[in-house]
């Protein structure tokens, strides 16, 4: 699986390209998408191949991103604005390079962490003779069942890790906001307390001044 990244990611673009280069043979990538930036990936696909694009924003802002998928002719196959997560399945209508981009250009100060899984084609059969006309042996059937179950377990683990990362990010963000709010409340209480002290002192000062005037 050959992926090439390009975009307007500024100084973060090289980091993203490095992550893509290191994971060029993988179908799952997690990358940083800076604010006011766009990152695109390309994939050579053969006609008739079934593909699935699944993505999720893990951290940053409102956990949303723009996603766009185009075929070799530039026809838009999929386009969603400010989505937190989604999945799209399509069958390639022709040979060529398909392009899918993630955009954070609507954000001015928050960067995002985006995960995507781009699957091209079906998994190869577990046994070379799995598609033969005769039935599988009991051992082969058990191996195929275990293999499918393990793939499901891997998918569930991936989704749980993403949810855990997203939940941790939300908790840390909430903790930061609570800390700032507590500091603000403490400062307000301190200012109000000092103000009350000076206000009470001013009352007694006025009484002393009036008493002195009356005595004289």
pLDDT for 9? 45
CB within 8 Å of 68: residues ≥ 6 apart: 76, 78, 79, 100, 101, 103
> Taking CA 6 as the corner, what is the angle to CA 35 and CA 49, rounded to the nearest 5 degrees?
115
Cα–Cα distance for residue pair 4/13, rounded to 1 Å = 12
Query: pLDDT means per 10 residues in the chain (216 residues)?
Result: 52 37 54 90 90 89 90 92 90 91 88 89 67 66 80 81 81 87 92 86 67 56
Pairing of strands 85-91, 50-59: antiparallel
CATH (residue range 26-122): 2.60.120.680
Strand partners, 29: 116
H or E element that contains 202: helix 138-215
The domain ranges of the chain are 26-122, 136-202
Phi, psi of 149 (to 5 degrees): -65, -40
Q: What is the DSSP string of 27-63?
A: SEEEEEE-TT-EEEEEEEE-TT-EEEEEEEEEESTTS
pTM of the model: 0.64
Residue 79 CA, chain-centre distance (Å), reads: 17
The answer to whether residues 61 and 147 touch, using CB atoms and an 8 Å cutoff, is: no
The answer to whether residues 78 and 98 touch, using CB atoms and an 8 Å cutoff, is: no
Closest listed residue to residue 126, CA positions, set 107, 152, 108, 151: 151
């Amino acid at each position: 699986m050959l992926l090439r990244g390009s975009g307007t990611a500024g100084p973060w673009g090289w980091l993203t390209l490095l992550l893509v280069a290191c994971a060029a043979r993988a179908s799952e990538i997690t990358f940083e998408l800076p604010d006011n930036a766009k990152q695109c990936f390309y994939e050579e696909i053969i006609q008739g191949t079934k593909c699935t694009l699944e993505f999720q924003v893990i951290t940053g802002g409102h956990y949303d991103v723009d996603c766009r998928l185009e075929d070799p002719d530039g026809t838009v196959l999929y386009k969603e604005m400010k989505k937190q997560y989604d999945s799209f399945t399509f069958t390639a209508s022709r040979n060529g390079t398909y392009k899918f981009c993630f955009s954070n250009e609507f954000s001015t100060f928050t960067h995002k962490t985006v995960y995507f899984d781009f699957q091209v084609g079906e998994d190869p059969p577990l046994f070379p003779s799995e598609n033969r006309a005769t039935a599988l042996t009991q051992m082969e059937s058990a191996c195929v069942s275990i293999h499918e179950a393990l793939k499901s377990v891997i998918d569930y683990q991936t989704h749980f890790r993403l949810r855990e990362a997203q939940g941790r990010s939300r908790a840390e963000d909430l903790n930061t906001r609570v800390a700032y709010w507590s500091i603000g409340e403490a400062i307000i209480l301190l200012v109000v307390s000092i103000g009350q002290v000076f206000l009470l002192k001013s009352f007694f000062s006025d009484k002393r001044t009036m008493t002195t005037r009356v005595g004289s």
